[in-house]
Structure 1
Amino acid sequence: MERKVDENHPLRDTRVLIAEDEILIALDLEAAFRDAGAEVVGPFMTLTEALTAAESERVSIAILDIRLGTATTEAVSDLLTKRGIPFLFYSGQRLTPEMQRKCGDAVLIDKPAKQEDLVGAAVGILAA
């Protein structure tokens, strides 16, 4: 049976992991996904926190900044891939060559973006 999408809350019954180190952006992402009906896991501002959550939390999708401080989120994306959890990157940076090789098919949304574009991308990934 196909899941009916609530147009006002298209991410109802989903858990979204957010890894973002800029507090204002993290809070904006959290609000956008909560408004779309999702339960937000995080936001996580350090690589250690994001890795712990990616390893142990039950999530439907993840929103990752490419860098948390000076560290890339490559280990987080690797872990999510291993667990079969989709993700997208939301960043003002480019993927490193190694991340590009591993995650070349991942959606990359450039900062800044509208909340509806981020939520729409997540909905599209989950529908695929």
Structure 2
Amino acid sequence: MSSRKTEPLKGLRVLVVEDQAPIALQLEDMLVESECEVVGPASRVGQALRLLSDNDVDAAVLDLNVAGELVYPVADALEARGLPYVFATGYDPSDVAGRYGHHRVLQKPFSRRVFLQAIRDTIRQD
């Protein structure tokens, strides 16, 4: 666990839930470059829930609206497992439902630096 403090992303298994392929690929690339293992990406809520139940996951990046469906069932499943996550959305951060408001919300577009720092911060808080 001490290596997680110096290299908090190395070896981390991150579920990516994003329905726009170019953005999903960009998130995946950023995570892989940081030595994470990507689970997914999932382009539908049901697919994300299946990936979550079938795989060990350490954290997640969730688009708020996935193919017209809000991602909250995935957030609930992550909460039930005590797993950290961030929202990555084109919506305003105030659009995130109140009970999820304590989670980090990255408003698209965001830089690689901002994205990776948000993941690091989220993992440290866990």
Q: TM-score, normalised by structure 2?
A: 0.90
SS in 2 for 1:90: strand
Misfit runs of 4+, over 2 Å = 1-4, 94-97
Q: CA deviation at 1:54?
A: 2.2
Gaps spanning 5+ residues in structure 2: where?
none
Question: Which residue does 2:6 correspond to in 1?
Answer: 5
Question: Which residue does 1:83 correspond to in 2?
Answer: 81
Q: CA deviation at 1:95?
A: 6.3
**Which string of whole-angstrom CA distances, capped at 9 and with x for unpartnered residues, describes residues 14-48 of structure 1?**
10100000000000000000001100001111111
Separation (CA, whole Å) in 1 of partners of 2:30 and 2:83: 20
- Whether the 8 Å CA contact 1:17–1:41 is kept in 2: the answer is yes
Alignment partner for residue 115 of structure 2, among 99, 114, 118? 118
SS in 1 for 2:28: helix
- Whether the 8 Å CA contact 1:66–1:95 is kept in 2: the answer is no
Aligned: 1:104 with 2:101: yes
- Whether the 8 Å CA contact 1:63–1:87 is kept in 2: the answer is yes
| Count of aligned positions | 124
- Whether the 8 Å CA contact 1:14–1:38 is kept in 2: the answer is yes
Between 42-51 and 26-35, report the one with greater CA deviation: 42-51
* Percent of matched pairs sharing the same residue: 30
The residue type equivalent to 2:2 in the other structure is E
- Whether the 8 Å CA contact 2:9–2:35 is kept in 1: the answer is yes
